[in-house]
Structure 1
């Protein structure tokens, strides 16, 4: 019955009259303890108002699940709408620059329908509101992956913080994820030696055979120090850290003097109730004079289109590849989030709403 109501209202919107529509959204009612659970959320129905001048109405097609969501929600006062990016189709518009049928990517959160003014987009995350360029024959879901926040995280994090030079060695943890797999490919484009650590033999095979990493290791089954000696005989110049934990201490201790470290995340401990103890990093940082810098990608919000254009050009030139883990159904958002925290995905994980 609800679907029939939505279809009826959508038809009226297309015909020029402005009606009302009911959105579904996830509201976090309990802070996570261990892995996220369905019981931490409730799905709320929200009747949206009529469009005002300059506004658009969007319908979500793909929703993003990302590791940062697990870490960030602890800072929100409950109850609160769940954050996150989505690719959505404009189904009604009172803004001549955003026509019906176009696709936008934005930080609308875990919800099915959104009204916003593109000149005053909601501040709900890392993803600035942007109209997707024509990326056919590729799926529009790439607006959440290599042509969205993960792609720009890799692009700006590597180029602006690590500043790799041709011939240098880059090591990446979480190397088969949305960001890590992209960082490695940019590293190869820039003429670097690239070494990745991932959580399964399947992922390592993908990194070496498909993405052309110089070496990839299953961190669960190898000796990290021995793997570094084998794969980085000239030691490590740049480290892109998605994981944290003891592996990061080991890698940073194996870096060259004046090495650069981009700290993107610490997924190894997101679900831990008690943070792990690791080898102290200060001796390596001091004696090797390392530059260690954490970052949030929205630092480069005013250059967002630069990263998208660069990644799109590399994609069209055949220099970038991608893989997606697609979950299905708005009801499966929590399962998808848990899945990426368990490392189920190779490349970007997204949820197809319908």
Structure 2
């Protein structure tokens, strides 16, 4: 039996903990600097579960996650619900519209997907004011689920006498001997380990630097900002999840007439340990676009949602081994980690078993 330490209690680390506890013959310890699911991208994620991507492999991996979450949401001990709303991807140019039609044909055997012209989109969603677009991709099976609830479920299901979670414990550095991992130094002392999995999100790069370890790819931390909006207009309609790659608008409906809405935000290389919780200028940009897109004359209430996420320099997450024997990476998911977490957990398990 080997000692496995997972660094990070977001949804990625929690999913890995669950999978290794269920299938691996190891002693698994997860350490989290705060509380599971309460910091980083997982703590504020809208939990959108959608599958349509430009890549067939990403579409398949996201579909695996969607089905996985739908299954666990039906369990009596799951602290949340899967809300099926569908997801809309507006397409603005004819060339892009022709392209997504070709993709839809390829993906038909994998996911439930429909292509709507602009008239059909307007008929189904007259309350949304997309302008200058040719049509949209519609994914009817998409929806959302609470990432914090999923993270806690993974932890509860995986925990036992051998597999444990240590909250309020920060990993200071990964300890190596020659080219082998031997453990991690934490604020609670040294924890021996044969295998260390870094799922620390925005803190992964700093941890690698403090441990004098070279990452397989550069990591950058980017700010994320959304608004949680309540309005009478929203209460009268079912709001699907949506993603407009041209304008940068994205979000989903919420229960009781709510809407989570975000806009493109180009703020990079921030320090996750010194991150301001308020950006009024970006909030004004978000609200202006939100009011325009949803034709909102008034808003009952609004709350800022601000956090950060970790990106790689090539926009491909790190799910791999390293030059150090026993060290593995699961980070850099660019805001999309939640839907991929079940697949990532299985993938890390496979990589460890091959090493």
TM-score band w.r.t. shorter chain: under 0.3
More strand by share: 2
TM-score (norm 2): 0.23
